[in-house]
Structure 1
């Protein structure tokens, strides 16, 4: 089976459509021009018979009928000769045919005059020759506004005059030349048009193959704003997204390796020190090893939980939930930890505020706990952490502020990226693994909400959680 390219298909479609249109127009013009000439000839014949109609009307008024005229055919011939004499006068200066095969105007109108007949008011033949198998034109003859008869003549069905034939042939010749020019121009335009469309598609196909092979650096120049240009632009955006994703994955693997290597290195060095007798094998050494194992276990749990939240595999049991009491419970649970960290955890939630959401209580507790843990980890001793709750008709806002230190401008969105820590020099004991806020972002997204960060009026960081309100 032959497979044509898109450009070839477009070329055939464009040229084929133009060819069919030109051919159809040619046939319509041929029929229209021929029929137009026949109608024009009939109209001219009617105009020439006006003299005869007037003469017959006067004769009927004088004699009261056509009986005398019907009994004297010579008078009828004399009346028709009036038309023929008018034709002779009209075509006296007309050039004669070049050959005997051509019909002169005089011969044409002589044949026309011969075909004229006279009928009574009931279209019964009075004078002339009956023509049963031919189409007749009827001209009414009136006398004192009364229909008294009809003049009939044969309606032409073919163009017989050589002058008319020449004119029609000349028109067809001109139209044929124009048609060929139109087809030539259409072919040229179709070639350029198909190439303009097929070239970016061919380039797109080649680059798509390279993209599928893992080369994410391919880009396509966008030369138009139409659908093809939009497709090329979308391809470029896809390439950029895949390239960024590949780099992110590489950094992700490197960061995970680093995060896991750190506790394992400490663990290994402690064990080697114990084996070499540098460090004694006692409860203190075992407690250090146990603490590092807990850090590693926590990191693995966080990674597992983050992977589940990324694919939407975390279990959510959503139900109607009054969020105010839930936040107050979380605050009470963290009061002791805040005191141990030398911080003040302030409850700024109005107890009378009744705000319901459709949510999983355990996941919201995890969300608030992760944010509070993050605030406790970074806020300087003696600082302040506040929790606020507000709502309108459709949205619920949970705002958690902490005091200094703050973060640099431009880092507000980055803190929700996995394994991102504000200061790369901070140790794990201070900065954690950088997974808590990434998990928070996934939990909020699963509740059709948004989470944002911005500088706090207290001098630190403000986390704002926006959730849809459950309206009963």
Structure 2
């Protein structure tokens, strides 16, 4: 079963439950209200009739006059329900009342299942509960007696109202209730049909974005990252569509980066291999003699290729979190001094003036892997040595900043343009557009350094240097206590 059909049947089921519940509740409420209304209406009629009879008793001085004139009694009880008898009808009914007693026995009966009207069930009794108008043999237990009092509060008679039988009580509203039930049933059917008519297009409207998302996901899985979902709403489906579009864009960008990465690696590996094979072919063909210079050239290209492969391996291990880190308390200033001492001669060979500040002033203990920290510092200094012009300046500064220790390496010209600064940590990127390996290295050193810094909870950023070149700032959190 499709989602559209499921959603349609769920909505239809909800509508059916609501309509059925409403139908039953309205029917129950109407029945109870209707019966209560009839009871209250009859109570009001009886109370008003008691007041009238009390006034008649006071005016006549007893029940004799009322008992002698049945027309007066008929007019009284029929007027109480708003259907007063007059003229010939009154006289004719009075005559029959004298002949047959009260209530009349030969009047037309109400429809089957319905009780007799209120005026037919009314009886008049004197103070000793003797029947004045009503069947002489009717048991008093069948009557609901209401006392009739004179102005002094003395009971002078009773108004008796015949109680309805259980069947009449249950069936009193039967006919009207049946009519209402039919109307409710028709309304319920109409509401269900309307609900079904609304549920189907609503279900389709609800499911259409899901269908689009399903189709776009299949294209995404097949390698087509171009589909986008246009669903401009603020609900969960709208958020899902925006997330899908973001995912498709990210996958597309990653695919572009992957292709560029493969192309760059191919280029990086092909160039030293081409040079290496070319020199070997030249030696085989006798173009070059196999001497120390040619072997040194071959060794240099092989070293470059080996360094590139090693850097690629380390970078891939760092990306997947597989590099081993054995962290211990490390004095960052002492580590920087040790790495710098190993490169002092190389800086002197290029006549580069090295300035240091803060390396010996205070202990800056960090929790780090000493080998990885040495690798990071060595890469940074070698990068500076490789790019800084002969006769330039380099300044290495170590300082504490709150809970952090900051190591800043600045060099002189050449500098890096502001547009190139964010790209320095990209893989295989060199600011040198000629991509000359004699000066540019493999283009992976700074990317490896950034991964090492982040693995230690630190950061590495590049800025323009006040000396005219590049400034690389390495920050690490200070160790608060020695780990166990």
Please tell me the TM-score bracket, short chain as reference: 0.7 to 0.9
Q: Give the conservation status (yes or no) of the 8 Å contact 1:87–1:109.
A: no
The alpha-carbon deviation at position 415 of structure 1 amounts to: 1.4
1:7 alignment partner in structure 2 = 4
For 1:132-211, what aligned pairs fall within 5 Å after superposition? 154=163, 157-158=169-170, 160=172, 165-166=175-176, 168=177, 171-172=180-181, 175-211=184-220
Equivalence for 2:45: 48
| 1:425-464 alignment, distance < 5 Å | 425-464=434-473
Q: Is the 8 A contact 1:317 1:360 kept in 2?
A: yes
Q: Quote the residue 1:422 is aligned against.
A: 431
The normalised TM-score by structure 1 is 0.79
Secondary structure at 2:424 match in 1: helix
In 1, Cα distance between equivalents of 2:73 and 2:408: 111
- Tell me how far 1:112 sits from its aligned partner: 4.5
Partners of 1:142 and 1:364 lie apart in 2 by: 113
Instruction: Structure 2: state its 5+ residue gaps.
Output: 57-62, 87-107, 130-137
SS in 1 for 2:203: helix
Contact 1:302 1:435 in 2 (8 A): yes
State how far apart, in whole Å, the 1-side matches of 2:147 and 2:391 are.
119
Residue 228 (1) aligns with residue 221 (2): no
Return the TM-score normalized by structure 2.
0.78
Q: Measure how far apart 1:448 and its partner are.
A: 2.4
Task: Please tell me whether residue 273 in structure 1 is matched to residue 270 in structure 2.
Answer: no
Does the CA contact (< 8 Å) of 1:402 and 1:456 recur in 2? Answer: yes
How far apart in 2 are the matches of 1:29 and 1:283?
Answer: 108
The one-character-per-residue Cα deviations of 1:300-345 (angstroms, maximum 9, x if unpaired) are 1111111111111100012333333323333333332222233223
Query: Does 1:19 pair with 2:16?
Result: yes
**How far, CA to CA, are the matches of 1:247 and 1:195 in structure 2?**
37
- Whether the 8 Å CA contact 1:53–1:151 is kept in 2: the answer is no
RMSD: 4.1
Q: Kindly provide the CA deviation profile for residues 408-442 of structure 1, in whole angstroms up to 9, marking residues without a partner as x.
A: 23322221111111233131111111111111121
Q: After TM superposition, give the deviation of residue 374 of structure 1 in Å.
A: 1.4
Q: 1:415·1:421 contact (CA, 8 Å) conserved in 2? A: yes
On the 8 A contact 2:110/2:116 being kept in 1, the answer is: no
Distance in 2 separating the partners of 1:443 and 1:138: 103
Matched position secondary structure for 1:416: coil
Q: Per-residue deviation at 1:269?
A: 1.6
1:263 matches 2:272:
yes
Cα distance change of structure 1 residues 145 and 87 upon mapping to structure 2, 3 Å threshold: closer
8 Å Cα contact 1:317/1:359 also seen in 2? yes
* Cα separation, 1, equivalents of 2:355 and 2:147: 111
Q: CA deviation at 1:260?
A: 1.5
Which residue matches 1:64? none
